[in-house]
Amino acid sequence: MQITGLVGQHGIMPAGPFLDWAHSIYGSRAYAALPTVFWLGAGDAALRGVAWTGVGLAALLIIGIAPLAVLFLLWALYLSISVAGQDFLSFQWDALLLETGLVALLWAPPQWLPRRHEPPPSPAARWLLLFLLFKLMFLSGATKLLSGDPTWRSGTALNYHFETQPLPTWLAWYAHRLPETVRRIMCWTAVATELLVPCLLVLPERFRRTSLFAFVALVGLQIAIAATGNYGFFNLLAITLCVPLLDDQAWGRVVPVRRVPRSGNFRPRLRLVAALAFVFFVPSLLSLIRELAFTRARSGPVYFPALGNAILGLVEPLRSFNGYGLFRVMTTERPEIAIEGSRDGEHWLPYEFRYKPGDVGRQPSFVAPYHPRLDWQMWFAALDPVGNREWLVTLARRLEAGTPEVLALLGHNPFTGAPPGAVRMVLYEYRFSTPAERARTGAWWVRTPVAEMGL
């Protein structure tokens, strides 16, 4: 739905010229550094074809047809789209989806058609999935404290988060108005859940109650995050990673579970999976250590072994062994870029995005698990207009030309007959309205102009 407007031939960051540029700089090494099927062609038909192929493969996976082959193809195609998508597919949940998909290859049953009796999953694969969950959650908590950010260390991060996160929901307005003591308790609870609860994942299976507690705590945290902010498919994916925490006995209390007899000798395959799991575990562990080291390096020198860097360098093009850590440094202000067009250079009309704050009277909405990638990227652009100037200029030129693929990414287009003669971008400072302001005006936001951005 978005790919041609983002990286298509007439998109904001066309994939074809990007790959051509990479090849001109790195030559044949670009193929290994940027593994993507779009080296064969990055036109709009190819982009849409790969995306729809992913939809079809996902349906096959749900049915249970050739899970191993389908999972590998899904991983390879999403890697291809991530490379071609550049900044628009560089979010942490894109990396998490790739890493989860790769590990899932060791978890899936080796079958071609759906069948009633499946071989038992590998304990090593289950452990590797739980380690991925551990890495995701532990790093999310540890990097907040190691970064030295004063709002996390003082417990005041949620004084800002609900208001300054990229795409808040309407519940965030109410959460922002909670008493400060409540917000501090919520802040420390979230950090403790991310930092301490993952340690329960490494306990032996006989500690079944701790697994159930960890499941409830981690899933509850994801639901709370999703209630106040739109983070694409991140929350659903994180919840899915919690599923291996519980065995059939635990699930049997919630959904019907029918035990079936196991037959056949699966030991050779289980040994192979265990070996592969160890191979996957090494760079996964190194990525965790490096993330901690690099975050800690902000406040002092930290040593990371050269061999570790060499191993991670080998697997880096696969984008499947990653460090994580959302909001390790809390944003305390909310700049927003408004885009306006004019036919005469005097009267300016605003373009409206579908989901990011614009019209102060529009209620923030729930949109996840859909991920409006331009809306999200505009949040980053407002924080660093200079660093994002190149694609912002291209966006403005596409609007001046009335490019349909780009206009489809927006909400309201005030120039339906013909494109404007000029487009400008204005930087505003946004904040949530107070209860008194909202009662008087009905506005969810209050904005103050900061400056017109030069393009």
Residue pLDDT, tens place only, 394-442:
999 999 999 999 999 999 999 988 999 899 999 999 999 999 999 999 9
Q: Do residues 68 and 122 share a domain?
A: no
Q: Which of 277, 310, 331 is the last residue of a domain?
A: 331
Is pLDDT of 319 > 90?
A: yes
How many helices and strands, by DSSP H and E, does the chain display?
A: 20, 4
Q: How many CB atoms lie within 10 A of CB 137?
A: 27
| Residue 45, in any domain of the structure | yes
The dihedral of CA 366, 367, 371, 376: what is its sign? negative
The reported pLDDT for the residue numbered 382 is 96
**Which value, in Å, is the radius of gyration of the alpha carbons in the chain?**
24
Which residues, at least 6 apart from 155, have a Cβ–Cβ distance to it below 8 Å? 184, 187, 188
Q: How many CB atoms lie within 10 A of CB 90?
A: 14
The reported pLDDT for the residue numbered 209 is 76
Is pLDDT of 269 > 90?
A: no
| Residue 284, in any domain of the structure | yes
Q: Do residues 217 and 235 share a domain?
A: yes
Q: What is the mean pLDDT of residues 169-192?
A: 97
Number of independent structural domains in the chain = 3
Q: Do residues 415 and 448 share a domain?
A: yes
The whole model's pTM is what?
0.93
Is pLDDT of 302 > 80?
A: no
Instruction: Please state whether beta strands 445-453 and 334-342 pair in parallel, antiparallel, or not at all (unpaired).
Output: unpaired
Percent of the chain with pLDDT over 70: 95
Q: Do residues 81 and 169 share a domain?
A: no
pLDDT in tens, 41-77: 999 999 999 999 999 999 999 999 999 999 999 999 9
Q: Do residues 156 and 272 share a domain?
A: yes
| Residue 100, in any domain of the structure | no
Structure tokens at 37: 């099927």
Q: Which of 300, 331, 362 is the last residue of a domain?
A: 331
Q: Do residues 84 and 175 share a domain?
A: no
Among 74, 159, 309, residue whose Cα is nearest residue 82: 74
| Residue 359, in any domain of the structure | yes
If pLDDT is split at 50, 70 and 90, which confidence band does 111 have? confident
Please give the Cα distance from 137 to 353 (Å, whole number): 32
Q: Is 425 exposed, middle or buried (0-12, 13-18, 19+ CB in 10 A)?
A: buried
Within 13 Å of residue 300, how many CA atoms lie on the same side as its CB?
A: 2
| Residue 105, in any domain of the structure | no
Residue-number span of the structural domain to which 19 is assigned:
1-90
Structure tokens at 439: 């009662």
Angle formed at CA 411 by CA 407 and CA 414, multiple of 5 degrees:
75
Q: Do residues 49 and 125 share a domain?
A: no
Q: Do residues 66 and 132 share a domain?
A: no
The reported pLDDT for the residue numbered 251 is 73
Structure tokens at 33: 């550094």
Is omega for the bond preceding 420 within 30 degrees of 0, making it cis?
no
Q: Do residues 148 and 53 share a domain?
A: no
Q: Do residues 162 and 231 share a domain?
A: yes
Q: Which of 307, 331, 355 is the last residue of a domain?
A: 331
pLDDT in tens, 77-108: 999 999 999 999 999 999 999 999 999 999 99
Q: Do residues 303 and 407 share a domain?
A: no
Is pLDDT of 261 > 60?
A: no
